[in-house]
Amino acid sequence: MPSRRRWAVLAAGVAAQTAASAVVYGVPFLVPSLRDERGLSLAAVGIVVAAPTLGLLMALIAWGAVVDRVGERLPMAVGLGACGVVTGALALLAPPSLAATVGLLVLAGVGAASVNAASGRLIMGWFDVDERGLAMGIRQTAQPLGVAAAGLVLPTLAAREGPLPALGGPALACLVCAVVVVLVAADPPRVSRAPGEAPPASPYRTAVLPRVHAASALLVLPQFAVSAFSLEYLVREQGWSPGAAGVFVASAQIAGAGGRIASGWWSDRVGSRLRPMRQLAVASAAVLLVFAAGDLTLGLIAVAGIAAGSVITVADNGLAFTATAEIAGHGWSGRALGVQNTTQNIVATAAPPALGALIGVSSYAVGFAVAALAPLAAIAVTPVASEPGPERVAAARAAVGQD
């Protein structure tokens, strides 16, 4: 019987990922105040939004290699603590230079990257294969919960204290959660290789895992199209107050967290990660086109598209992470999850400035219609036919904990 401790470890991992996500993905909630305070264009503020994800992009594979070698708890605590220190410095100093602001946000993302690789690997070690979809779905709620917390707190703090001092709250949360990780998030039990036994072979000998990475990266574009510009759209195009828009987006993100749990449970029940992932790609394309149609015709439809998109476009994320870890195996899961995060964050880094520039010269309808091409491509890329069958799932269960 699996140890009951796994749920405490999962809770610590979710808390850590939530705090890191509030820093990395909370910057869009500062967009209106940043533009008002510094007179930035939509394209320029998109660079600020992308800066923390650029930091993740630079560090994810390296953190994954560290985690594969030394375990999960120490790298996660050190990286999260560093993220809190750097973000706190940004909040206290509030540098007037755009370059300094971007640079500090990049460093914050470098620290936060440790949590992305380590917390996913913790789940691989503590949960059996028939619970992993649900457990990873719960873990993946951390990102929308972090965004929701940022949406509830940052617009109000930014209006009162200024956009960069508002980041002091997420910085403190990172520091507190780093302590929680040290106290609670024990490394999972491991079974060492027998003397003379060869290390596990690379899972990248076939195209299956690269296709999972590619499909997941394509599905990041609709997620960031919604999360990066929904508050700005509601404030600038629909005339909402920043506080009201923040509450709406935060509520939608909380619903998105529930969607991740549901999709993980769904994948456990049907014995597949990739079939539900492909079906969610169809739904993501549809919801972006609904938003585009609403922007052209009726604002209420566009708002409904934001609400639905906040749930649908994030629901696939845990499925891709679970599939990646299971295909890679325990000995490669840290690095594979690092590659998975990297491919996602390549898109996450490029999407806000690219979509911001496209929307700036055209319209939200055009920008979101173009973004819908990505999930349509993901439908074809997702390697459903190559997914491990029931017999390989049983083998994966037996292999858990082996290096």
- pLDDT for 71 equals 82
Q: From CA 332, how far away is CA 312, in angstroms rounded?
A: 29
What are the beta bridge partners of residue 402? Answer: 191
| Mean pLDDT, the chain, integer | 85
310 burial (CB, 10 Å; 0-12 / 13-18 / 19+) is buried
- pLDDT for 158 equals 87
| Average pLDDT of the residues in 323-332 | 80
Q: From CA 29, how far away is CA 78, in angstroms rounded?
A: 27
The model's pLDDT over 91-136, given as tens digits with 9 standing for 90+, comes to: 998 888 888 999 999 999 999 999 987 887 787 778 887 788 888 8
- pLDDT for 402 equals 38
| Average pLDDT of the residues in 207-224 | 92
117-131, 174-188, 383-397: the lowest-pLDDT one? 383-397
| Average pLDDT of the residues in 229-253 | 85
Cα angle 189, 192, 195; round to 5: 165
Rounded CA Rg of the chain: 20
- pLDDT confidence of 394, banded at 50, 70, 90? very low
Cβ-contact 79, 63 below 8 angstroms: yes
The tokens describing 318, both together, are 């845990």
């779905």: which residue's tokens?
137
Q: Which residue stretches of 233-383 are H helix?
A: 242-270, 274-296, 299-312, 317-328, 333-361, 364-371, 373-381
Which distant-in-sequence residues (6+ apart) come within 8 Å of 93 by Cβ?
A: none
- pLDDT for 282 equals 96
| Average pLDDT of the residues in 279-294 | 95
Q: What is the DSSP string of 186-203?
A: PPPP-BPPPTTPPPPPPG
The model's pLDDT over 21-56, given as tens digits with 9 standing for 90+, comes to: 999 988 888 888 888 887 777 778 888 888 998 888
Mean pLDDT is highest, among 10-14, 79-83, 207-211, for 79-83
49-58, 98-107, 327-336, 364-373: the lowest-pLDDT one? 327-336
- pLDDT for 388 equals 64
Q: From CA 18, how far away is CA 25, in angstroms rounded?
A: 10
- pLDDT confidence of 403, banded at 50, 70, 90? very low
- Strand, coil or helix: 297: coil
